[in-house]
Structure 1
Amino acid sequence: MTAAVPDSPSADHRMCPSLDDNGIRKQRGSRLPAVSIALGALSVASFWVAGLGFLLGVAAVVCGAVATSRSAVADDEAASLRALLGVVAGAAGITVSAIALFPMPRTCEPRI
């Protein structure tokens, strides 16, 4: 026994998840929040490599800031929180890298 399949051309778009009910392509969410989180995590993990953690942290903050300025991310609460998490992780990576790159100088006083 075979299933009846409607032959209307409007039924074909139901098989494709990237189209809505009117046959118009849906706008996918931005990938920048996920990129921001990944760069922030890498910046924290690579703080000990001279300058790499700092640069990755700056890139994470920039990606997160650009992502929050987009309307697609601003309308989606989960994506907005991911972008904010990426900014925070990037800032943490910048801070940890700066501490590792520029340690506090010790003052050496001669013992008498």
Structure 2
Amino acid sequence: MTAAVPRSSRAARRVCTSADSNERTQRHGSRLPAVSITLGALSIASFWVIGLGFILGAAAIVCGAIATSRSAVADDEAASLRALLGVLAGVAGITVSAIALFPMPAQL
């Protein structure tokens, strides 16, 4: 009599576990927008290192562009805004790096 109860509860647990994991992946979505913002901020912060600001800025732009093309990010307004901010931070990092390093060849 007790053997029938655990079997049905096990099946219910399996269904709930898979539903919870699907819910978690939909809630968290892609990490690319956060990576894009991080790389953009690092590119702005490292503008004084020759070439590093350009590389990190380009990586931020690429990550942000890939993130906005994904349907999971496009459906989530907050994630698409983070991806856009990452692209803008990457552009700002490249711009600041170019402005800071522009006078350097005159000194060489």
TM-score above 0.5, yes or no: yes
Unaligned runs of 5+ in 2: 1-5
Gap change, CA 1:26 and 1:9, over 3 Å in 2: farther
C-alpha contact 1:44 1:96 (8 A) present in aligned 2: yes
* Partner-residue secondary structure (3-state), 1:94: helix
Which residue number corresponds to residue 78 of structure 1? 78
Give the structure with the larger helix fraction: 2
Q: TM-score, normalised to structure 1's length?
A: 0.75
Larger Rg: 1
Runs of 4+ in 1 over 3 A off after TM superposition: 25-28
Matched, 1:19 2:28: no
TM-score (norm: length of structure 2): 0.78
**2 CA distance for matches of 1:19 and 1:71?**
16
Which residues of 2 match residues 1-112 of structure 1 at below 5 A? 7-15=9-17, 17-20=20-23, 26-27=25-26, 28-103=28-103
Identity %: 72
Structure 1: how far apart are the matches of 2:103 and 2:21? Answer: 51
Gaps of 5+ in 1: 107-112
Deviation at 1:7, TM superposition (A): 1.4
